[in-house]
Amino acid sequence: MRLTPQDALVIVDVQNDFCAGGSLPVATGADVARTMSRAAAVFSEQGARVYATQDWHPEGHSSFVESGGPWPPHCVQGSRGAEFHPELHLPAGHEVIQKGSDPAVDAYSGFLDSDLEDRLKTAGVNRVFVGGLATDYCVLNTVLDARRLGFETYLLTDAIGAVEMKPGDGERAIARMVAAGAIRVELAAVVERTSG
């Protein structure tokens, strides 16, 4: 399986607020950042495209507890928490997809309240590889939308981490993605296939 410009890596929300020290930390956030950095380098070297989604909420966003939502304030526009994790290294030519800037839209999916679908289709992408944070929310919804929109979709299972509000949420999310037609794969297998 060779990567081509019709393939895309979609890095979901690898931001400081979703890693250690952030307002909604995933325990494995830094590990995910490092794995996605390796993935981004491989995809770029092979001529594939790299997109990084970024939660980009205004103050008082509807998903925040203060506004009646379920979450503490996170990824507020221009804040350190909204910045990509320092161990996420993105290659030249990557594209950033900001989402959740509409105060009324939660935008778990990278396709919601963004132009990701248009960018992928304009670029001729038909196959996406998805990893990032968090498995049970933004990764889940991004993968489900990718499948709904007709993209061949691979879930990088060694490059995701779950919030686990309830034990088992991560595994349940993976099961939902697979049921929707996503293919589980580890980065090592993609690298092996592309270099073989």
Q: Please state, in angstroms and rounded to a whole number, the distance separating the CA atoms of residues 42 and 187.
A: 9
Of 7, 13, 113, 136, the catalytic one is 13
Dihedral of the alpha carbons of 170, 49, 84, 65, in degrees to the nearest 10: -50
Nearest alpha carbon to residue 189 among 158, 147, 161: 158
When computed from its CA atoms, the radius of gyration of the chain, rounded to whole angstroms, is 15
Of 99, 113, 136, 145, the catalytic one is 99
As given in the structure block, the two tokens for residue 18 are 């979703």
Of 7, 19, 75, 138, the catalytic one is 138
31 is catalytic: no
> Distance between alpha carbon 6 and the CA centroid of its chain, in Å?
18
121 is catalytic: no
138 is catalytic: yes
Cβ atoms of 133 and 14 within 8 Å: the answer is: yes
Return the active site residues. Answer: 13, 99, 138
